Every structure is written in structure tokens, then in C-alpha cells.
Chains A and B, each alone.
Chain A
């Protein structure tokens, strides 16, 4: 009898085992009562070969997708940055629109006054509370001492004019060019008159001296221009009374008036004079 080598013996045994196993599995698969063999075999095949190969293929796919993800991320970041800019731009435009609408409303209520609409051209950080430059000058009819108002009320007086621009001295300035005649309308129909003299930075309020020391002024009263002694009409809102003090000599009272809220930041304004332009 021929003797097999060790390798041949091993191979014959392995083939026999595999064939037997394969036939058994084949038989089980044929049997409709049991699908265990087929399932077990499929599971072994999946675990040993299909799953690792699918995983490798997926890893390659993921790697290639990573480049797309990087590009997408760059694009989205860019879009997000733009979106933020759009948001702030939108807010800014909305505020400007509201400001213009209020100004338009105010313009309609001042029939017999000179009204020149303009924008703020420059407001230096060094003199934020002192002056601003506006886009209307003598060619538009702006004159010295005209009142400059925002959508909420008076904020300054025209200090000097150029052809197309003017310099406005704000009411919060330390060097107010002229006193502003004011009046406070009382509930009984009478008016209390006085003069806006200066701005108290510590109190964040205008210092107003009243001519009538017997007047009963309380906080919350609204203060407006009286139109006397200035180049602007009466009834322009200046602020609200926040405090009232009586001087030692008890002759006149000092009233503190809080300025309009947007005096610190405004883009559009209107120059108001007492007569009609060109008239």
C-alpha cells in the first residue's frame, strides 16, 4: 500500500472534514424544518469575511467622505459668519427705519417751522458728548442757534454752519453756546418757564433754572422749548424732570431734567428753525 506524506494526510483529512461539513450543511439547508445550519454558516461567513471586508470598505468610504465634510464645514462656517453680519445689518437697518419713521411723524406735527432733515456725518469719540457734524449746511438753510432734534426730542443747537455741513453743540456739552428757554406745562393749564443753563454730568441731567420759585414741580413733568429768545419754535420736547431743588436764597428752584434717551446715539436728525426756509 502506498504511504502518504504528512502533508497529504493532513490535506486528505481536512478535505474529508470540509466535505462532510459541507454536505451536512447542504442537507440541513434542504430540510425545510430546520434552517439552523444555513444560518450558522451564514453567520460564520459574515463574521469571518463579509463584516471585516465591509468594515474596511466603509472605512475607506468614510475617509473619502471626510474631505467632503471638511469642505462642507468650511462653507457652513463662512455662511454662519455672513449670517451674523446679516443679523447685525438687519438690526441696524431696523433701528434706522424706526428712527426715520418717528422723525417723519414729528415733521408732520410742525407745520410752521423750518425743517431740514439730515444725517450725522461725524461724531468723534473724543468729543462724543460735545459736538456732532451733520449733513446739512447753509445751502440747505441751516442757521446758527437752530435746534437739532432726533426722533425723541431736542439734542443740540447749531453752533456753526458750512456750505453743506454744520457743527452741532449737543445739550450735554460743557460749553453750551446759549441758554434755551423752556417751559413746563402744568396740569392746571398754566406754564412754568425757565432756562436750560447747563448739563450736570454727575446727575446725567440738564440743570434748569425756573423763573417762578413758587411753582409746584414734581418729577416726571415733561419739559419743552418755550420758543422765546431762540431760533426755534415752542413745544419741542427736551426731557423729563428727575429732581427738584430749592436754592439757599429760595428765590428760584433748580430743576434737573433727564435728556432724551437716544442722545448718546442717533443717526438721523432734523434741524428746526422758527421760520420757513427761504421765507
Chain B
């Protein structure tokens, strides 16, 4: 995929995240069940895991810093988290490429980490008085369940997009080759 397409796709996902957050606000009183959307993060991880480590860290970090500045106001929490998880995604690069189940599982764990690390930081440094069980049941259960489905959907969407890009590139190469052969025969 072209960088421009990647940027647009990530921006759209971030906006969908924000829209979901706006329509279904997270209940920080831990009274009901909440869903914290991470569509942008899932898409980002699926797009960067094949790249070299520096690319992964920089792209993820940049997305994290934008999320911090524009969507959450928690600079530099997401910058560090995104960059770290982006780096980690490359460690399982080979396995993720070969088996889509491992790709799903790794992303699932990443989503859990993305929510759990800030929670633990809050518990340790801010002295938040909420039990892990209550947090997991009210915030994480629905989030993980729905993200299980969303990861599958995004994997499918990105596979289709990749294939589409590949076919287009292949056709372009073919037409260029034909053009070249034609020019050669004319000479």
C-alpha cells in the first residue's frame, strides 16, 4: 500500500475510534460494561509488523504521539506504548506472516497490553483504587470480545487491500513490459 493510502486508512480508523468513544462513552465509574475502541492501533500493527525495526518504531511512535496529542491528551503514554508494541510486533514477524492464527493471537495480546499497562501504571503511580477484577470485567471483557471480531475483520480487509494493490502493480508491470516489447519490435 502507498504511504498516502496508509495515512488515510489510519486517520479514518482513528476517527472511527473517536466516534465510537463519543457515542458510547467509557464508564469510568465501573458501573456498567464499556468498550474502548483500538481500531487505529490494530490497523497500525497489521501494517507495520512486516517492516524493519526502525520503521516500525518510528511509524508506531508517530501514530502514538498523534493519538496522545489529538485524541487522548496523555502525552507521552501512547507514544511510548505504540512505539514499544510496534517494535515487539516485529519479533514475531516470521510466525505472524506464516500463520494468521498467531497474527490474531499476538494482536489480541497487544490490545490487552495496551489497556492493561496504563491501568497498572495508574494503580502503581496514581494510586487508583479499583480492583483488577472489576476493571477486567467492566472495561476489558467487552473490549477484548469485540476486538477479537474486529481483528479478524481488519485482517481480512487489509489482506484484500494488499491483494488489490498487488494485482494492480502486476497489471501495471505487464502493461509496461508490453509497451517496452512493442517499442523494441518497432525499432
Residues of A bordering B, CB below 8 Å: 4-5, 7-8, 11-12, 14-15, 18-19, 21-22, 26, 41, 45, 48-49, 53-54, 56-57
**Majority secondary structure, B binding face:** helix
- A-chain residues with CB within 8 Å of residue B62 when the two chains form the complex: 11, 14-15, 18
Whether the Cβ atoms of B22 and A57 lie closer than 8 Å is: yes
Closest to B75 in A: A22
Whether the Cβ atoms of A57 and B54 lie closer than 8 Å is: no
Specify which of B23, B58, B71, B75 is in contact with A11 (CB 8 Å cutoff).
Answer: B58
Residue B66, interface by CB 8 Å? yes
Q: For this complex, into which size category does the number of interface residues on chain B fall?
A: 20 to 34
Q: Which B1-27 residues sit within 8 Å CB-CB of chain A?
A: 3, 15, 18-19, 22-23
- B-chain residues with CB within 8 Å of residue A41 when the two chains form the complex: 69
Whether the Cβ atoms of A8 and B54 lie closer than 8 Å is: yes
Whether the Cβ atoms of A11 and B59 lie closer than 8 Å is: yes
Whether the Cβ atoms of A49 and B70 lie closer than 8 Å is: yes
Closest to A4 in B: B54
Whether the Cβ atoms of A56 and B19 lie closer than 8 Å is: yes
Nearest CB of A to B75, in Å: 5
**Majority secondary structure, A binding face:** helix
Whether the Cβ atoms of B65 and A49 lie closer than 8 Å is: no
Closest to B14 in A: A49
Whether the Cβ atoms of A15 and B58 lie closer than 8 Å is: yes
- A-chain residues with CB within 8 Å of residue B69 when the two chains form the complex: 18, 21-22, 41
Q: Give the A-B pair count, Cβ closer than 8 A.
A: 49
Whether the Cβ atoms of B75 and A53 lie closer than 8 Å is: no
Whether the Cβ atoms of B70 and A22 lie closer than 8 Å is: no
CA of A18 to CA of B83, assembled, Å: 15
Whether the Cβ atoms of B54 and A15 lie closer than 8 Å is: no
Residue B55, interface by CB 8 Å? yes
- A-chain residues with CB within 8 Å of residue B55 when the two chains form the complex: 5, 7-8
CA of A262 to CA of B68, assembled, Å: 86
CA of A279 to CA of B66, assembled, Å: 110
Residue B90, interface by CB 8 Å? no
Whether the Cβ atoms of A15 and B70 lie closer than 8 Å is: no
Residue B37, interface by CB 8 Å? no
Whether the Cβ atoms of B70 and A26 lie closer than 8 Å is: no
Interchain residue pairs A-B with the least CB separation, the first 10: A11-B58, A22-B75, A18-B65, A53-B22, A11-B62, A53-B19, A15-B62, A53-B18, A22-B69, A15-B61
- B-chain residues with CB within 8 Å of residue A7 when the two chains form the complex: 3, 55, 58
- B-chain residues with CB within 8 Å of residue A4 when the two chains form the complex: 54
Whether the Cβ atoms of B3 and A57 lie closer than 8 Å is: no
- A-chain residues with CB within 8 Å of residue B70 when the two chains form the complex: 45, 48-49
Nearest CB of A to B127, in Å: 21
- B-chain residues with CB within 8 Å of residue A19 when the two chains form the complex: 65, 76, 79
CA of A11 to CA of B15, assembled, Å: 21
